[in-house]
Amino acid sequence: MLLYKLLGFEMVQSVFGVWDYAIMAATMVVSIAIGLYFRFSGGKQATNEEYLLADRNMSILPVAVSLMASFMSAITLLGVSAENYYYGMQFVVINISYGVATPIASRLYLPVFFGLQKTSTYEYLEMRFGPHIRMLASLTYTLQMVLYNGIVLYAPAIVLEAVTGLDRLISILVVGLVCTFYSTLGGMKAVLFTDLLQSALMFGAVFSVVVFASIQVGSFGQIFAIAREGGRLDFSNFSVDPTERHTWWSLIIGGLVTYLSLYAVNHTQVQRLQTVNTLERSQKCLWWSWPVLSVLSVVTCISGLGIYAVYKDCDPFVSHSISAIDQLMPYYVVDAMKEVPGLAGLFVAGIFSASLSTISASCNALAAVTLHDYVGRWCKVPASYAPWLTKLAACGYGLVFLALAFIAEYLGGVLQAALTIFGAVGGPLLGVFTLGMFTTFANERAVSVALLSGMATTLWISFGGPRPPVTKLPLSVEGCGFNVTLATAAVTNPSDYFYLYRISYMWTSPVRIVFILPSSSGFARVPVG
């Protein structure tokens, strides 16, 4: 029950009406219909080229939007809004890093993968270094994605339970099976086109929060006026101290490395970028995904400020209306938007769409890795059997995600750790690909040792010991209308904690890169034997 209690959701009386349920049902039905359509149209998913790469003839729009949808999970939407409410809007600076990273990914990394025309990103590592580093990187990616998607499926199910009273296990079953069904039957084409629908719902969810909050406080501008009074619009932290949680430098540099680890070398994204027929079109997909991602990110940040403007005199967390800050946005929907037919349903559809897009992308990507990096390594698969094995793998991964989500409440500590593991391996893998593409000294032995030691180091920094608590911006309960006491948190001295445990999470990705690059050079010079 650890994760369930941590997220803090409890059963509530359903606030869903007919329109709300209609929106949710329509989302699921249309997603299934798209999967069925692509199963029985075109080439009917008879080849792996069509199933995994959409015959490499997709248009730019669905690919660009899908790149964003795969990046923005439900966990991100819920977390970013709470971040801006409780810690201020400095986090929005991270969007600058996306603009810096896009030309780097499109001009330096993407041409290498696109030129090879390989289905699995990790095939490059065998060509550059050898089979062992390919297998190590592929296994790392598989473990990373399997653990992460268990959380991606479970967390929004708790949201639905909080909003509607519908049992979370039913939600997990419905969403998990629908996602597995359409991604298994329809392949990459179904994944890309359902991402279009789901992205529209994600935008609709966060925009509805901003619009409704603007109406409640009087105007859109009033949101920023109230946020400024509450200290939420302070962008003045230019500190280079790595123990500062969010600064301009940590957000831009840390965001740059995070973006590159996802958009430049992550197999899930690289596979999508190869569904178009030319490098120029692939680069355009990446360029167009940047503004789409940034707009959703900025609006989600503003939604947090909008909720703050509504609750500035009666904070839900301090007043114990919620027990974890990540449930702030769904609480606002339950508390403030329930009287408008369809808005609660739109919000929940948007949150689940964020999960559907991430999970369907992972099913397809992991199926490709399984066939090419594992099965294909040990035996030659006849062309007539390959599509069936790939579909079986996609379905299997969907069921694994479903199983992890079902047992999440009993393995809460493990699955919470998976969120950190997801970030801990991205930086080292980016370092490995960077070494392969832009250096000549790195060899398989050196890179393997550097990758393992780099992941061990960053996992140690992340899990090695207690970290100092993060101080929230000022909160108030003066307008709650009932007896609520604003508790004073115990003051702790950050210097009492070991220095490495005080480093901001935004700096851990750059630290991984800094460790990988020079260490591989050193290991390469160590004689064998």
Whether pLDDT at 260 is above 80:
yes
The pair of structure tokens assigned to 470 is 């993060």
Share of the chain above pLDDT 70, in %: 89
User: Lowest-pLDDT range, 79-93, 337-351, 358-372, 482-496?
Assistant: 482-496
pLDDT band at 6 (very low <50, low <70, confident <90, very high): very low
Please report the pLDDT score of residue 152 as a whole number.
84
Whether pLDDT at 72 is above 70:
yes
Please report the pLDDT score of residue 454 as a whole number.
78
Taking the C-alpha atoms of residue 223 and residue 215, their distance in angstroms, rounded to an integer, is: 10
Average pLDDT of the chain, as a whole number:
85
Are 53 and 45 in contact by the 8 Å Cβ rule? The answer is no
Taking the C-alpha atoms of residue 38 and residue 497, their distance in angstroms, rounded to an integer, is: 55
The pair of structure tokens assigned to 231 is 């200290």
Please report the pLDDT score of residue 468 as a whole number.
83
Are 371 and 226 in contact by the 8 Å Cβ rule? The answer is no
| 3-state secondary structure labels for all residues of 291-332 | HHHHHHHHHHHHHHHHHHHHHCCCCCCCCCCCCCHHHHHHHH
Mean pLDDT to the nearest integer, 26-41: 92
Q: What's the gap between Cα 269 and its chain centre?
A: 12
Instruction: Describe the crossing of helices 131-164 and 412-438 by its angle, rounded to 10 degrees.
Output: 140
Taking the C-alpha atoms of residue 427 and residue 139, their distance in angstroms, rounded to an integer, is: 15
Mean pLDDT to the nearest integer, 12-21: 70
**Amino acid of residue 482:** F
Mean pLDDT to the nearest integer, 400-421: 68
Whether pLDDT at 421 is above 70:
no
Handedness of CA 183, 194, 361, 505 (dihedral sign): negative
Please report the pLDDT score of residue 418 as a whole number.
53
Are 509 and 261 in contact by the 8 Å Cβ rule? The answer is yes
Domains of the chain: 2-418 (1.20.1730.10)
**pLDDT (tens digit per residue) in 145-199:** 888 888 888 877 776 676 567 678 888 888 899 999 999 999 999 999 999 999 9
Are 58 and 275 in contact by the 8 Å Cβ rule? The answer is yes
Taking the C-alpha atoms of residue 381 and residue 378, their distance in angstroms, rounded to an integer, is: 9
Whether pLDDT at 508 is above 90:
no
pLDDT band at 525 (very low <50, low <70, confident <90, very high): low
Mean pLDDT to the nearest integer, 478-505: 73
Are 493 and 411 in contact by the 8 Å Cβ rule? The answer is no
Please report the pLDDT score of residue 327 as a whole number.
82
| H helix count then E strand count, the chain | 22, 0
Q: What is the pTM of this model?
A: 0.89
Please report the pLDDT score of residue 208 as a whole number.
92
Mean pLDDT to the nearest integer, 418-430: 71
pLDDT band at 37 (very low <50, low <70, confident <90, very high): very high
Please report the pLDDT score of residue 521 as a whole number.
62
pLDDT band at 245 (very low <50, low <70, confident <90, very high): confident
Whether pLDDT at 235 is above 60:
yes
pLDDT band at 1 (very low <50, low <70, confident <90, very high): very low
pLDDT band at 9 (very low <50, low <70, confident <90, very high): very low
Are 245 and 323 in contact by the 8 Å Cβ rule? The answer is no
pLDDT band at 15 (very low <50, low <70, confident <90, very high): low
